[in-house]
Amino acid sequence: MNAVIYPLGHAEKELERLDGQASLLCDPSLEALFAHCKSCLEIGCGNGANLPLLRQQNRYTQYTGIDTSEAAIDEAFRRFHDSEDTRFMVMSGASIDLPDSSFDLIFTKLVLWSVGVDWPCVLEEAMRLLKPGGTFYAFEPCNHLVEMYPSKPSARRWMNQWDEAACASGLDPFIGPKVASQLNAAGFENVDSKFFPVIATGREKERYEAIVGNLKCFYMGPSAEALGLPSDGELRRHATAEFLEFGPESLVMDAFFVSRGSKSS
C-alpha cells in the first residue's frame, strides 16, 4: 500500500485506539461473511484489532493479516502468536506475494482511503487472490457526511482543514461511495454498497463519548502535525473544547460506506 503519507502513524496510543474503533465500527454483515468462510485475508490489519470480534463468529477460519507497518505487525504477532490458523505479514496490499485463488473472503476496514492513487490496485489484487465465488468487502469513510449537533463551528472548520490537507497529501477521506464503481471496473460481480452511519445522541452517554472520542483522536491527534496543520493555536483550542461539549440534545454521526462484490464462480 503505497500511501503518500499515513497520517495516523502506528505509535502505541494509535494502536490502542484501533481496538476501541474495531468494537465501535463493528458490522454484522462482515461477521456473517467471516462466520461462513474457510480462509480470510485482511488487507491493512494494523494490530489485529478486528480479529477478536471475528473469532467470536468462527474459531476455525484460516486468517491472514497484512500491513505495511512493521510496528503494527509486530504488535499483532505479540497479541495473537498463540492463536491457531492465524498469521501476520508485512506486505503491501497493492502487491501481495501470495498465491492466486487463496481466500474465500478478503476485506479492508478504513484502509483504502490511505493507500493513495494506487488504491484500485488493491481491488485488482483482491480479485486475483479470491477463490471463485469469493467475496471482497470494504468499509471506508465519507468524511463530508460526518455531523455534530448542535453545530460546532470551530470543530467543523478544523475537520475541513484536516480533510483538505489529507487530499493534498494524496489520500481520500471521501472514498466510501467511490468503491462500488471501482469494484465493477475491476470485474467483480453482484456489487452493492450501503451507507453505514455510526450515530448516537447525548442521552446515550457512553456511545456518544466513544464516537466523539474516536473522531477527536482521528482529527486532533498526531495526524494533524503529520498533515502540516498547526500543533497549537486558537482554532485548535476551540475545536478541542467543542468536541468535549455535549448535552441531552446533542447528536454525533460518523459516516462510512460498506461495499462488496464477488468473484465469478
pLDDT tens track for 26-35: 999 999 999 9
pLDDT of residue 6: 67
Q: Could you give the CA distance from residue 212 to residue 251 in angstroms, rounded to a whole number? A: 10
Q: What is the pLDDT of residue 4?
A: 46
| Distance separating alpha carbons of residues 28 and 47, to the nearest angstrom | 21
Closest among 238, 125, 134 to 186, alpha carbons compared = 125
pLDDT score for 2: 41
| Virtual torsion, Cα 116, 117, 118, 119, nearest 10 deg | 70
Burial call 92-122: b when 16+ CB within 10 Å, e when fewer: bbbebeeeeebbbbbbbbbbbbbbbebbbbb
Question: How far, in Å, CA of 239 to CA of 219, rounded?
Answer: 10
CA atoms 227, 233, 234, 236: torsion sign = positive
Q: What is the CATH number of domain 12-262?
A: 3.40.50.150
134: left (phi over 0), alpha (psi -120 to 50) or beta: beta
Which of 239, 150, 210, 191 shows the shortest CA–CA distance to 17? 210
What CA–CA distances, in Å, run from 238 to 194, 233, 244? 34, 9, 10
Q: Which residues of 189-202 are buried (b: 16+ CB within 10 A; e: fewer)?
A: eebebeebebebbb
Residue 102 has a pLDDT of 97
The pLDDT of residue 242 = 95
Flag whether pLDDT at 11 surpasses 90. no
Report whether pLDDT(217) > 70.
Answer: yes
The CA-atom distances, in angstroms, between 247 and each of 45, 50, 77, 90, 94 are: 35, 31, 41, 44, 44
